[in-house]
Amino acid sequence: MTQVHAFGDDVLGDLDAVGLVEAMAQGLSAAEVVEAAVARVESVDGALGAVAHRAFDRAREEARNPRPGFFAGVPTFLKDNVAVAGMPLTDGTDAWDPVPEPADGDFARMYLATGLLPLGTTRMSEYGFSAAADHVRLGPVRSPWHLDHYAGASSSGSAALVAAGAVPLAHGNDGGGSIRIPAAVNGLVGLKPTRNRLAQDKLMRDMPVRIVSDGVLTRSVRDTAAFYREAEKVWRNPALAPVGDIRRPGRARLRIAVVTEGVGRRSTPEVAALTLATAARLEELGHTVEQIDHPVPDSFADHFLLYWSMLALAMVTTGRRAHGRSWDRDKLDNLTLGLASHCRRNLHRLPAAVVAMQRSRHLAAEHHRTYDLTLTPTLATETPRVGWLRPDQPYEVIMDRLLDWVAFTPWQNATGEPAISLPLATTAAGLPQGMMFGAGHGREARLLEFGLEVEQALGWAGLGTP
User: Torsions phi, psi of 82, nearest 5?
Assistant: -125, 150
The pLDDT value given to residue 209: 87
The pLDDT value given to residue 294: 87
Residue 202: closest CA among 299, 92, 103, 306: 103
Pairing of strands 117-122, 142-143: unpaired
Per-residue DSSP letters for 140-173? PPEETTEEEEE--SSSHHHHHHHHTTS-SEEEEE
User: Is 79 among the residues known to form the active site?
Assistant: yes
Nearby residues of 137 by Cβ (< 8 Å), 6 or more positions away:
94
Does residue 463 fall inside a structural domain?
A: no
CA gap 304, 287 in Å, rounded: 32
CA gap 258, 245 in Å, rounded: 28
Cis upstream peptide for 154 (omega within 30°): yes
Does residue 379 fall inside a structural domain?
A: yes
- CB-based burial label for 26 (10 Å; 0-12, 13-18, 19+): exposed
Categorize the per-residue pLDDT at 263 as very low, low, confident or very high, splitting at 50, 70 and 90.
confident
CA gap 155, 170 in Å, rounded: 9
Q: State the average pLDDT over residues 17-24.
A: 98
65: domain CATH number is 3.90.1300.10
221 in Cβ contact with 173 (< 8 Å): no
Q: State the average pLDDT over residues 228-248.
A: 97
Categorize the per-residue pLDDT at 425 as very low, low, confident or very high, splitting at 50, 70 and 90.
very high
Strand order in the sheet with 255-258: 169-174, 213-218, 189-192, 419-426, 432-439, 373-377, 255-258, 288-291
Using the CB atoms, write b or e for 379-404: b if 16+ within 10 Å.
Answer: bbbbbbebebbbbebebeebbebbbb
Question: Does 466 have pLDDT greater than 60?
Answer: no
> Hey, is 179 helix, strand or coil?
coil
- Give bridge partners of residue 432 from the DSSP assignment: 426
Does residue 123 fall inside a structural domain?
A: yes
Q: Quote the percentage of the chain above a pLDDT of 90.
A: 94
> Which pLDDT tens digit goes with each residue over 144-196?
999 999 999 999 999 999 999 999 999 999 999 999 999 999 999 999 999 99
CA gap 156, 13 in Å, rounded: 23
The pLDDT value given to residue 207: 85
Does residue 465 fall inside a structural domain?
A: no
Does residue 256 fall inside a structural domain?
A: yes
The pLDDT value given to residue 427: 97
Nearby residues of 243 by Cβ (< 8 Å), 6 or more positions away:
197, 225, 228, 229, 232, 444, 445, 448
- Give bridge partners of residue 217 from the DSSP assignment: 170, 190
> Hey, is 433 helix, strand or coil?
strand
User: Is 154 among the residues known to form the active site?
Assistant: yes
Q: What are the distances in angstroms from CA 145 to CA 275, 426, 457?
A: 21, 11, 24
- Give bridge partners of residue 426 from the DSSP assignment: 432
CA gap 154, 81 in Å, rounded: 10
**DSSP letter assigned to residue 253:** -
Which residue in the list 143, 158, 178, 421 is annotated as catalytic? 178
The Cβ of residue 201 has, within 10 Å, a number of other Cβ atoms equal to: 20
Residue 131: closest CA among 159, 103, 106: 159
Residue 342: closest CA among 318, 307, 317, 315: 307
Does residue 35 fall inside a structural domain?
A: yes
User: Is 213 among the residues known to form the active site?
Assistant: no
Nearby residues of 245 by Cβ (< 8 Å), 6 or more positions away:
225, 229
The pLDDT value given to residue 461: 86
Which residue in the list 143, 154, 158, 220 is annotated as catalytic? 154
Categorize the per-residue pLDDT at 264 as very low, low, confident or very high, splitting at 50, 70 and 90.
confident
Q: Quote the percentage of the chain above a pLDDT of 70.
A: 99
Nearby residues of 27 by Cβ (< 8 Å), 6 or more positions away:
none
Domain containing 446 equals 17-457
CA gap 106, 115 in Å, rounded: 15
Categorize the per-residue pLDDT at 231 as very low, low, confident or very high, splitting at 50, 70 and 90.
very high
The pLDDT value given to residue 1: 57
The pLDDT value given to residue 344: 97
> Which pLDDT tens digit goes with each residue over 58-102?
999 999 999 999 999 999 999 999 999 999 999 999 999 999 999
CA gap 176, 211 in Å, rounded: 7
Question: Domains in the chain: how many in total?
Answer: 1
Q: State the average pLDDT over residues 316-341.
A: 95
198 in Cβ contact with 110 (< 8 Å): yes
The pLDDT value given to residue 169: 98
Nearby residues of 42 by Cβ (< 8 Å), 6 or more positions away:
none
Per-residue DSSP letters for 93-104? --SS---BBSS-
Q: What is the mean pLDDT of the chain?
A: 96
Does residue 464 fall inside a structural domain?
A: no
Expressed in angstroms, the distance from the first to the final Cα of the chain is 16
Question: Does 465 have pLDDT greater than 70?
Answer: no
> Which pLDDT tens digit goes with each residue over 24-68?
999 999 999 999 999 999 999 999 999 999 999 999 999 999 999
Does residue 9 fall inside a structural domain?
A: no
The Cβ of residue 102 has, within 10 Å, a number of other Cβ atoms equal to: 8
Least confident range of 335-344, 354-363, 393-402: 354-363
The pLDDT value given to residue 132: 98
